[in-house]
Every structure is written in C-alpha cells, then in structure tokens.
C-alpha cells in the first residue's frame, strides 16, 4: 500500500477576534478561517491551533443567536461543518481542547486561554491525549507573580495512521520574554532570548522526548522566538529537532528577519515554527505564505499566518 504524506497546519488564530483587534471573538472570524482551511488542497490531516478560548466575556460578548451554550471551539467546528456542508462534503474533523489559563473577576470569566487540535478522523486515529491535564511548562521567575502569570502548556496527541504507524503531536505557545529580567533591557534581541523562554522550550522538549519514547513526533506552535536565537538553537541543536522551514530552505536561519509569520502594525516577526524528531521527514511547505502576502487565503484573518507542511512518517 502506498504511504501518503500527512499534512499539518499550525496557526495562532488570535481567539478568532482579529476583526475587533483581539478584543472579542466574532462569528465572521470563525467563518472566514473555516473557509480558508476548507480551501486548502489537499485538506490538512492535522490542525494545531493556538490562542483558543473556552467560554468567557471576551469569547461571547460580540455573539448573538441560537447557540448561547457553545464554547469557542464548538462554535468554530459548527462554522467548519457548515462550510463542508455547503460543498456537499462530510466534515471529517474531531477536535480536542487543552485549557491553559482563566482570567476572572469573581465568578465572571473575563477571558480564557488554551490550545486546540483538529484531527481528520478519516485518515488518523487518536489513541491518547492529555486534554484532561495538559502538561504545564510555565517558567515562574518570581513566585509572587505566579497567580497573574499566564499559564503555558504543552498539548499532546498520540496518533495512528491507516497503515498502523504511530507518532505524536505536541502543540505549544511559549511566553513572551519577561521584561522583569535585566538582560531583557541590555540586549538588542528580544524574541527568543528570554531566559524564561529557554526554560519553557526545555520543558516542552523534555516532555516530548519522555512521552514519545522511541516513536516519531512533531513539536509545533507559536514559540515567540525568531530563528537562530537561544531558544531556536536549543531546540535544533541540543534537543535535536529539525525546523521545517530551515530543512526545506524556505528560510535562511541565520537571517531572523527573512520570513515573517506574524505582524503588528509595521513590525514583522518570525515567531511560529514546525519542528520534527529525526524519524519524520518534511516534504514541502505548500501554501505557507509570509505575513502580509495578500495572495494567501488566510490574509487578514489573524496577526499570525499558518505554517502548512506535508511530512512523511519515515
């Protein structure tokens, strides 16, 4: 039997609120991102999402209609299902949510943070996950700030394809470099230089290595780090992971500004990455576009663009 490649999308969706500058989630954002995913050819087998809420004031304040009990991921899946239905197709995705943090005032949830992963159940089976207890990776420099520091996690799925090959997917979103460290102000580089970021990258990599054992795995997400920074070098040199864009020559890793995956006003940054262990081989990055490329179907839908890759399980 021919072994087909697996296609993955990793995307920071900004809580489906980019249309309102991140202040509140909107149905239009969910619908447009659902349409953009459905327009990919071939469809992705795996979708790793960062910045996904559950239910909160921010997640629901802009919504009206017949689905008040939906959480944010359920609402997105409904839009995705509607898009497949319009095309006369069956929606193939199942979703897993991984809660990270809740900011609340009394009993009112102001906003929540988390990760999500979608799996094409026609091609892959999930045989284990840590959705009930995502692995904590947050680095706390100061214990007094522990309660207000946003929790960071590593989400995990163990998967099996139609040929019985097993592999793992780890999805994460590292913290920004902490401004409380004196080196933050003394060095010109920021994203990927924070000691807190290095500690969280180590926590993710070590968790992935221990959990996957001798099975192949991917570590993907928003790392808030540019190529060839201390965080990137740790992951590619010490943890011995391979970056898809570097491997496939889409970027020159020595030039951190050569490819932007995120933007703020006129600022462009390379923050998102796809990493793989030695047994996985990236094949291509078809449909991966730099931030600001208006030919991308994801243009204007978030302050990040998705990374999209085909890989072989080896």
Q: What pLDDT digit, counting tens, does each position of 168-185 carry? A: 999 999 999 986 666 666
Q: What are phi and psi of 82, to 5 degrees?
A: -65, -40
The residue to which tokens 């990258």 are assigned: 201
Question: Does position 290 have pLDDT exceeding 70, yes or no?
Answer: yes
Q: Specify the higher pLDDT residue, 146 or 165.
A: 165
Q: Closest Cα to residue 47, out of 82, 19, 21, 73?
A: 73
Query: What integer is the mean pLDDT of 39-65?
Result: 81
Question: Does position 106 have pLDDT exceeding 80, yes or no?
Answer: no
**Could you tell me the fold of the domain covering 6-312?**
Deoxyribonuclease I; Chain A (3.60.10)
Q: Which helix (H) or strand (E) holds 170?
A: strand 166-173
Q: Specify the higher pLDDT residue, 249 or 188.
A: 249
The per-residue pLDDT for 57 is 58
- pLDDT category of residue 12 using cuts at 50, 70 and 90: very high
Is residue 58 within 8 Å of residue 21, measured between CB atoms? Answer: no
Report percent pLDDT > 90 for the chain.
73
- pLDDT category of residue 118 using cuts at 50, 70 and 90: very high
Is residue 198 within 8 Å of residue 238, measured between CB atoms? Answer: no
Pairing state of beta strands 217-222 and 166-173? parallel
Least confident window among 44-58, 81-95, 263-277? 44-58
The per-residue pLDDT for 202 is 98
Question: Does position 3 have pLDDT exceeding 90, yes or no?
Answer: no
Q: Specify the higher pLDDT residue, 19 or 68.
A: 19
pLDDT digits (tens, 9 = 90+) for 207-261: 999 999 999 999 999 999 999 999 999 999 999 999 999 999 999 888 777 899 9
Q: Closest Cα to residue 174, out of 201, 134, 202?
A: 201
The per-residue pLDDT for 147 is 60
Question: Does position 282 have pLDDT exceeding 80, yes or no?
Answer: yes
- pLDDT category of residue 1 using cuts at 50, 70 and 90: very low
The per-residue pLDDT for 161 is 96
């Amino acid at each position: 039997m021919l072994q087909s490649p697996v296609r993955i999308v990793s995307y920071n969706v900004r809580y489906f609120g980019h249309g309102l500058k991140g202040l509140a989630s909107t149905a239009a954002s969910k619908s447009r991102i659902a349409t953009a995913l459905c327009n990919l050819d071939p469809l992705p087998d795996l979708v790793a999402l960062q910045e996904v809420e559950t239910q909160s004031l921010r997640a629901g304040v802009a919504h009206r209609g017949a689905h008040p009990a939906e959480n944010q991921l359920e609402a997105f899946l409904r839009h995705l299902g509607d898009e497949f239905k319009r095309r006369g197709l069956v929606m193939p995705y199942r979703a897993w949510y991984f809660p990270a943090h809740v900011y609340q005032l009394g009993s009112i949830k102001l906003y929540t943070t988390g990760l999500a992963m979608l799996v094409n159940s026609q091609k892959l089976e999930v045989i284990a996950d840590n959705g009930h207890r995502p692995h904590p990776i947050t680095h706390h420099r100061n214990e007094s700030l522990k309660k207000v520091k946003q929790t960071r996690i590593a989400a995990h799925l163990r998967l099996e394809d139609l040929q019985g090959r097993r592999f793992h997917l780890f999805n994460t979103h590292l913290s920004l470099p902490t401004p409380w460290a004196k080196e933050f102000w003394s060095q010109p580089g920021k994203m990927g230089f924070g000691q807190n970021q290095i500690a969280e990258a180590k926590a993710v990599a070590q968790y992935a290595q221990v959990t996957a054992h001798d099975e192949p795995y991917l570590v993907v997400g928003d790392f808030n780090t540019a190529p060839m920074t201390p965080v990137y070098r740790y992951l590619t040199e010490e943890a011995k992971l391979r970056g898809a864009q570097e491997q496939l020559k889409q970027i020159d890793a020595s030039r951190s500004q050569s490819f932007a995956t995120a933007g703020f006003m006129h600022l462009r940054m390379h923050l998102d990455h796809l990493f793989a262990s030695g047994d996985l081989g990236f094949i291509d990055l078809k449909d991966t576009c730099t931030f600001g490329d208006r030919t991308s179907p994801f243009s204007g839908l978030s302050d990040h663009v998705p990374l999209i890759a085909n890989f072989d399980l080896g």
